[in-house]
Structure 1
Amino acid sequence: MENLGKVWDYRDVAAVPAALAPYVTELVAYESDLGAPGMHRGLPTTSLTLVLPMGEPLDVGWADESQRQRRWSTVSGLHAAPAAIHHDGVQRGVQVGLTTAGARALLGVPAAELAGELLELEEVAPDLADLPERLHDVSPDEGADEGSRAVVRALLGALSRHGEAAPRAEVGRALAGLTRGERVADVADEVGYSRRRLSTLVREETGLAPKEYQRVARFQASRALMGRAPLAEVAAVCGYADQGHLAREWSDLAGCAPSTWLREEFPFLRDLEPASAAS
């Protein structure tokens, strides 16, 4: 993606009602004019992503062009590869991050079924199929904020239909341990399972094997620190053996070197999100 200079970029991190807090990691209304067509990388995180564009459908696929399609809604499960979001310079819509429990509580499907997929909302949650049309009715004058309010109302309705959901307590503890970077064997011991049983449960919850989930979590942590600390320090803090290991993981998971991402995409994101936010 060529850095063509930012004309304007507005993002509002909407307040999430307490009822949705266990299921929604972020809810962001965005309106951007980047000056010219380009491509944005959708990086792996430990959250599922729901994107609802307004004005124009979203042109998105994996970096290798697979599953590329123009969609009025995109649900992406956990993945260990970058997505490529193509745009004509202007983007407007609402993006929602979902926990794995949120997939069941709000979409009505296990997160594991969506791993590695880019799907439209109607394919995943037919009861939310009219949400893109509802956003389409929001005028530009009302702004993306009104879109975020419409999304919140729809998600609260979905929660009332599907009911609250949470992973088994031991699976939740295991995911927390993996996210902290603990050894898989130690996590298995802590929750009282064999490594094989732990692997089965983590796959059933997320669609990723424990080591792959841990790899994505470590990458997500490093991404949150990019541009805010030297690369060697980021590598040490996030548990990489050295800066070279960090660079190789970024090449695999982001499709580019950290320096490339910092040059091409960080200028559009800094000061728009907290350090802990995911892509």
Structure 2
Amino acid sequence: MSQHYVRSSPTGPLASAVGSMLGYEIADDAPSVHRGLPSPWLTVVISVDGPVPTATGPGEDAPLHRYESLVGGLHTTPAYIHQPAHQAGVQLALDPLAARTLLGVPAGELGIVSDADDVLGDASRALRERLGEAGSWAERLVLVEDALRRAADSRRPALGPVRAEIAEAWQLVVRRGGRVRVPDVAAHVWLSTRQLSSLFTAELGLSPGAACRLVRFDAARDAVRARSLAQSGPNLTAIAVRTGYADHSHLVRDFHAFAGLSPTAWLVEERANIQAGGGAPRAG
């Protein structure tokens, strides 16, 4: 198995909107299925090596969707990437508050996995063509960053911003690592709990309570993964306490809900990716 990754971080106004940009080229001995776990970021994958087959279930009977480029919204269940033996492309992690500016729609209008060509139209197809013609991964990442800047410049006057109360509510949930009560979030932004839930869900695609659970799960997943990279067994009790869970059992229940398996089973499934750098594309 061979893997090649090139990472980049945009500067200027895009720095806060784009969590990461990753160029990847992976050659494996055989096709595989990657479990794309939910995260607090929107995912964009632009393939330069054929369609990316995705499904919402792990079984062979789950319908496959084949997208040349895809966009993943916020979600609370895994997406499954059926990775071919050879794959190459660019993956982005986007702040959901930047969806209006960069994608032209609120994050709440995106599904677990959507065809980027349906969301972005000709701009998606044109970018994919330019990436295919580029001579290096560094050039490809520059092309993607330029496309994001053009999108931001062209959409800023046309689309209204995210409501300030909802932007602050999301940022509070992220700042607190999901460890905040929904009534306290509502009081912080001077909305009723019912108003917050309605506006928040329409903008982001998740209720405030689900968003808190998602952010908390993401922190726990990162902690479990970090201990594995450090070649330490995951101390789930300590991780649970540090990331805001009531106890070890509470953490395991949320892992089953968001990942479809226990933390230990997830590590076994992901071990090859973790040892090799863990940069394979995922929808979510």
Shift in Å at residue 85 of structure 1?
Answer: 0.4
- RCO (CA 8 Å, sep 6+): is it higher in 1 or 2? 2
Shift in Å at residue 80 of structure 1?
Answer: 0.8
Shift in Å at residue 90 of structure 1?
Answer: 2.5
Give the Cα separation in 1 of the matches to 2:119 and 2:210.
Answer: 24
> 1:34–1:236: structure 2 CA closer, same or farther, 3 Å change rule?
farther
Instruction: Work out whether residues 61 and 67 of structure 1, in 8 Å CA contact, stay in contact via their aligned partners in 2.
Output: yes
Aligned length: 266
Give the Cα separation in 1 of the matches to 2:265 and 2:173.
Answer: 28
Q: Which amino acid aligns with 2:88?
A: R
Give the Cα separation in 1 of the matches to 2:185 and 2:101.
Answer: 26
2:254 counterpart of 1:257:
no
Give the Cα separation in 2 of the matches to 1:102 and 1:94.
Answer: 19
In structure 2, what is the equivalent of residue 150 of structure 1? 143
Instruction: Work out whether residues 25 and 89 of structure 2, in 8 Å CA contact, stay in contact via their aligned partners in 1.
Output: yes
In structure 2, what is the equivalent of residue 128 of structure 1? 123
Q: Which amino acid aligns with 1:178?
A: V
Instruction: Work out whether residues 45 and 220 of structure 1, in 8 Å CA contact, stay in contact via their aligned partners in 2.
Output: yes
For the aligned residue pairs, the C-alpha RMSD in angstroms reads 2.3
Shift in Å at residue 66 of structure 1?
Answer: 5.4
TM-score, normalised relative to structure 2: 0.85
Instruction: Work out whether residues 32 and 91 of structure 1, in 8 Å CA contact, stay in contact via their aligned partners in 2.
Output: yes
Deviation string, structure 1 residues 248-273 (Cα, Å, up to 9, x no partner): 21112112211122122144235847
Question: Which structure 2 segments of 5+ residues have no match?
Answer: 228-234
Give the Cα separation in 1 of the matches to 2:131 and 2:115.
Answer: 15
Instruction: Work out whether residues 9 and 19 of structure 2, in 8 Å CA contact, stay in contact via their aligned partners in 1.
Output: no
2:166 counterpart of 1:168:
no
Q: Which runs of 4+ in 1 moved over 6 A?
A: none
In structure 2, what is the equivalent of residue 48 of structure 1? 42
Give the Cα separation in 2 of the matches to 1:200 and 1:40.
Answer: 33
SS at 1:13 equivalent: strand
Deviation string, structure 1 residues 11-67 (Cα, Å, up to 9, x no partner): 222121212123212111112223322111111111111101122221112126656
Instruction: Work out whether residues 93 and 147 of structure 1, in 8 Å CA contact, stay in contact via their aligned partners in 2.
Output: no
> 1:117–1:14: structure 2 CA closer, same or farther, 3 Å change rule?
same
In structure 1, what is the equivalent of residue 82 of structure 2? 86
Q: Which amino acid aligns with 1:210?
A: P
Instruction: Work out whether residues 36 and 89 of structure 1, in 8 Å CA contact, stay in contact via their aligned partners in 2.
Output: yes
Shift in Å at residue 95 of structure 1?
Answer: 0.5
> 1:89–1:247: structure 2 CA closer, same or farther, 3 Å change rule?
farther
In structure 2, what is the equivalent of residue 208 of structure 1? 206
TM-score, normalised relative to structure 1: 0.87
Question: Which structure 1 segments of 5+ residues have no match?
Answer: 1-6
